[in-house]
Structure 1
Amino acid sequence: MKFLYDFFPILLFFIAYKMYDIYIATAVIIVASVAQVSFFWLKHRRVEKMHVITLVMVLILGGATIYFQNATFIYWKPTVVNWLFAVAFLASQFIGDKNLLQRMLEKQVTLTSQHVWTHLNFAWIGFFITIGVINLYVAFNFDENTWVNFKLFGMMGLTILFVVGQSFYLMRYIDENAETEKS
């Protein structure tokens, strides 16, 4: 359910684009992102950093797209967001005792080595950088409709593939004894 909630603004963007155009779709993703953060705040009395970063970029780049009537700004949004995540994951390697991925997942998974967390964190950094580059390639080498399809299906598909691949890597390093103690 959380997966659908996270992709709700992108899904609405896609539907609005197919029904209207890039500018209406951009307005829709702005409203949907504001609603997403607002509803989460009302329900949990906190906000998720990922949603806030995405909201800020949607407001800035989406607003510029609408104001200047130039879709280039919204084309850059997925790349900027992914590269910001890459920077955050990289910075977390040097700030605090645990990297960002470990902070997010350690309550669910206990690993046999701290180095595994480091490898996984760097894998996510590489993924975020790569998906940002691929987005730019698609945005500026294919037509707008192809980019919109890639934004929803391609990016989601690549993310799912990456998570599945990461899961296979992760399974080799799960500390079975610690997992049994958690139960």
Structure 2
Amino acid sequence: MSEKNLPGWLKPALELGPILGFFVAYLILKDRIFTIGGTEYEGFIIVTALFVPVLLAAMGVLWWLTGHLSKMQIVTVVMVVVFGGLTVWFNDGSFFKMKPTIIYLIFGGVLGFGLLRGTSYLQALMDSMLPLTDEGWMILTRRLTMFFIGLAVLNELIWRTQTETMWVYFKTFGLTAAIFVFFMTQGRLFEAHSTEDKDATDTSD
């Protein structure tokens, strides 16, 4: 089954459902202490341990339905498993809190490496989704590279200086909203470098 054949609500539900589930579970369990095998675990650790298999299940269903996952989704899943596992193994929530930092640095680093080579890796990933000129892709890639680096720095500042609850709110809503706002503010770029009008003209000719 292709993404086009999926119900409009299903893909966002599979992508965002685990994150919202993490948020709700954290609010319920954050003040509780669980003793497992003689070791005490805070609610945050337990919620993290539950989040990993839930995310894996959601991405497994998405892969089963569509036949593929994006590279960004694969990297995110791997990072969740690695840092979620370290969080539970060492009973230390710091590992999971630094996960977004590592993910955004990886994304920013890969895009930045492509820019140094004079190419846009973003275009290779999203060319079918956004009809932009080569120049438009380069501009968007430069902006997104800096944006990812900025998110990495912001995440570090939040989890190291604010309360755990503040970080959970930031992770659940702040990062998602930031990405949404970023793309919403690229309207002029999309309009100025769109290839849609050109394609339509070529077709009519």
Which range, TM-score by smaller chain? 0.7 to 0.9
TM-score (norm 1): 0.88
Q: Distance in 1 between matches of 2:93 and 2:13?
A: 25
How far residue 58 of structure 1 moved from its aligned partner, in angstroms, is 1.0
Give yes or no for the alignment of 1:100 onto 2:121.
yes
More displaced stretch, 133-142 vs 86-95: 86-95
What's the Cα RMSD here? 2.2
Distance 1:169 1:152, change over 3 A: same
How far residue 91 of structure 1 moved from its aligned partner, in angstroms, is 3.1
Percent identical pairs in the alignment equals 27
Q: Distance in 2 between matches of 1:37 and 1:11?
A: 15
How far residue 179 of structure 1 moved from its aligned partner, in angstroms, is 4.7
Give yes or no for the alignment of 1:12 onto 2:32.
no
How far residue 71 of structure 1 moved from its aligned partner, in angstroms, is 0.7
Give yes or no for the alignment of 1:26 onto 2:48.
yes
What is the identity, as a one-letter code, of the residue corresponding to 2:150?
A: T
TM-score (norm 2): 0.79
Q: Distance in 2 between matches of 1:107 and 1:180?
A: 19
Give yes or no for the alignment of 1:177 onto 2:198.
yes
How far residue 69 of structure 1 moved from its aligned partner, in angstroms, is 1.1
Give yes or no for the alignment of 1:110 onto 2:131.
yes
Q: Distance in 2 between matches of 1:94 and 1:168?
A: 25
What is the identity, as a one-letter code, of the residue corresponding to 1:177?
A: K
Mapping 1:86-97, distance limit 5 Å: 86-93=108-115
Aligned length: 181
How far residue 8 of structure 1 moved from its aligned partner, in angstroms, is 2.4
Distance 1:30 1:178, change over 3 A: same
Distance 1:90 1:141, change over 3 A: same
Give yes or no for the alignment of 1:161 onto 2:181.
yes
More helix by share: 1
Mapping 1:15-164, distance limit 5 Å: 15-20=24-29, 21-93=43-115, 99-111=120-132, 113-164=133-184
Task: String of CA shifts for 1:85-111, please: whole Å, max 9, x gaps.
Answer: 11222233366x952222233324433
How far residue 37 of structure 1 moved from its aligned partner, in angstroms, is 2.3
Q: Distance in 1 between matches of 2:203 and 2:130?
A: 10
Distance 1:15 1:178, change over 3 A: same
How far residue 24 of structure 1 moved from its aligned partner, in angstroms, is 1.9
What is the identity, as a one-letter code, of the residue corresponding to 2:25?
A: A
Task: Give the number of the structure whose alpha-carbon radius of gyration is greater.
Answer: 2
